[in-house]
Structure 1
Amino acid sequence: MSAVPSVSVACTWLARLLAGCLALVACATALAHGVASGDKGYIQEISGVHVIPFVYLGAKHMVTGYDHLLFLFGVVFFLYRLRHIALYVSLFALGHSATLLIGVYFNIGVSAYLIDAIIGLSVVYKALDNLGAFQRWFGVQPDTKAATLIFGLFHGFGLATKIQELELARDGLLANLVAFNVGVELGQLLALSAILIAMGLWRRTEGFSRHAYTANVALMSAGFLLMGYQLTGWFVSGQGA
């Protein structure tokens, strides 16, 4: 039996993932890190510790968070060893977790538009890094581990700004935030596993080397679209005045 059908399915899945993320960013029908209206009502009405619901909400956010998925896609694009993947994903998770918990618990106010624009910038950065642009343009290679951690901090603040708008009950807040963060990490593992399986199959084809450049240009375009949308929202809202 040939493995070609499986590889074809994997390539198709990756193409649809990237195209879908581009479409979501281009349409810009909602802010990144938004919380579904049904979930908003539930979160605002409850108080006390609710571990399972918040784990579910965290996982749902990550699996449907196209900006997260775009960044993770860029991070693992040229990572082949499992220990390297684990290191970079752990750095991203550390940054994301820290600012999510600290931002909400201590009610640190940051403009959601600017944070989400920086998240778009993280996607642009990773695509340029994958294309070797920094070496060609400036003759230097940024510390990719430090960049992954730093951008992880901004990704966490992105969600924190949205959660703060919901005015969660202080009763059980810390436990619920920890549960939400656990859900985020579980969702990240689930999404990352699917991406890695598809990437592994795609890399086994001759088309990978031919299409790697195009894929990262598309990734960079998605990041620029997200940045432009958020910065436009920032100016239109009057925050940039």
Structure 2
Amino acid sequence: MSSAGHRIATVGAVMATVVLAAPGGAWAHGVGGSSDTVGGFVWLGTKHMLAGWDHLLFVGGILLLAGQVRRAAKLISLFALGHSVTLFTATVADWHVNPVLVDIVVALSLVFVGVVGLTGRPKTWTWFAAAVLGFGLVHGLGLSTRLQEVGLPSDATIPRVLAFNIGVEIGQLVAIAGMFMLGDVLRHYIPRLCDARLSHAVLVAAGVVAAAVLVITSGGQALRPVQTPPEAYGACEVRDRTETYPAGGGHPVKDFFEPAETVPATSFGHLIGDGFVIVNYQLAVPRHPVGAPAVTR
């Protein structure tokens, strides 16, 4: 193995071991703050990348597997292209994807790289490069999900998304440089960590554990469809009532009627006469919006 390979193997084993020992809160990493300036979003992207252990482990696995600086540069460029495309497109187009499912796929990307490493370097790199690009697209969806959690102004979305992406690339370059420098130090003190197969095995373990933790702690959220955020339904409109309800009924049998149930119009007319307020919800509005408590009344 080359000297660069020894360094990456050392850092990969150390990072993956740290991930396996991390507490549950470390598995989910948000952007962590916001900014009113475009320059601030560069810093948010850089900080998010440096804290993104799953993203960095995937990059480290690619570097270790490539074995050559030139090949590694090509693969990392494909990965950067993939996550840049989906980060920009998904954020600007306001796509809402299941964040837990994306995080699980990202964790499984570590398993993929580790398994390929354990079975030996590919004889042809075309299919592996395509896989790296594909996982880059998925990683970009994860980055977009985190960025949208921050909240972006509608009048300056594109500059901030581009700034965030620039920050992500800066963070990635800093992390790669750090991997080589840290590897130089650690390989002299912990030579056994230079074993590439050990690094690949620990990478597989880290991905499996991360995916399992996400599935167990999500409460089934990974399989739930993404709910449209409340703001997507538009602003509320206050106006004089033009609808009429026939009178003659008494109080309805319950306070809330499901969309498929028949509404007792005469009872509603009675309630309006008593001064009660009637709220009609759109059928598309979810019963329990994301982040809102369940309504029991």
Distance 1:76 1:156 in 2: 19
Structure 1 residue 209 displacement after superposition: 8.8
Structure 1 residue 236 displacement after superposition: 3.6
More relative contact order, 1 or 2 (CA 8 Å, 6+ apart)? 1
Structure 1 residue 186 displacement after superposition: 0.5
Question: In the alignment, what sits opposite 2:31?
Answer: 35
Q: Deviations over 1:113-146 (max 9, x none)?
A: 10000001100000000001798xxxx9881101
Contact 1:94/1:152 (<8 A) preserved: yes
Question: In the alignment, what sits opposite 2:136?
Answer: 152
Q: How many residues align structurally? A: 220
Structure 1 residue 64 displacement after superposition: 1.0
**Percentage identity across paired residues of the two chains:** 33
Distance 2:180 2:8 in 1: 10
- For structure 1, which runs of at least 5 residues remain unmatched after alignment? 1-7
Match of 2:103 among 97, 108, 116: 116
Match of 1:17 among 15, 18, 27: 15
Q: Name the larger-Rg structure.
A: 2
TM-score normalized with structure 1 length: 0.78
Contact 1:113/1:233 (<8 A) preserved: no
Contact 2:100/2:222 (<8 A) preserved: no
Structure 1 residue 218 displacement after superposition: 1.0
User: Counterpart amino acid of 1:57?
Assistant: L
Distance 2:9 2:52 in 1: 21
Question: In the alignment, what sits opposite 1:187?
Answer: 171
Q: Which has the higher helix share?
A: 1
1:162 equivalent to 2:160? Answer no
Aligned ranges 1:216-227 → 2 under 5 Å: 216-227=200-211
Match of 1:66 among 53, 60, 63: 53
Structure 1 residue 19 displacement after superposition: 2.2
Structure 1 residue 103 displacement after superposition: 0.8
What secondary structure, in the 3-state scheme, does the structure 2 residue paired with 1:131 have?
helix
Contact 2:81/2:133 (<8 A) preserved: yes
Contact 2:31/2:150 (<8 A) preserved: no
Aligned ranges 1:99-138 → 2 under 5 Å: 99-132=86-119
Structure 1 residues 171 and 196: CA distance shift in structure 2, 3 A: same
Structure 1 residue 194 displacement after superposition: 1.5
Distance 1:141 1:209 in 2: 26
What secondary structure, in the 3-state scheme, does the structure 2 residue paired with 1:83 have?
helix
Q: CA RMSD in A?
A: 3.3
Match of 1:95 among 72, 76, 82: 82
Structure 1 residues 79 and 63: CA distance shift in structure 2, 3 A: same
Query: In terms of mean alpha carbon deviation, does 148-157 or 214-223 score higher?
Result: 214-223
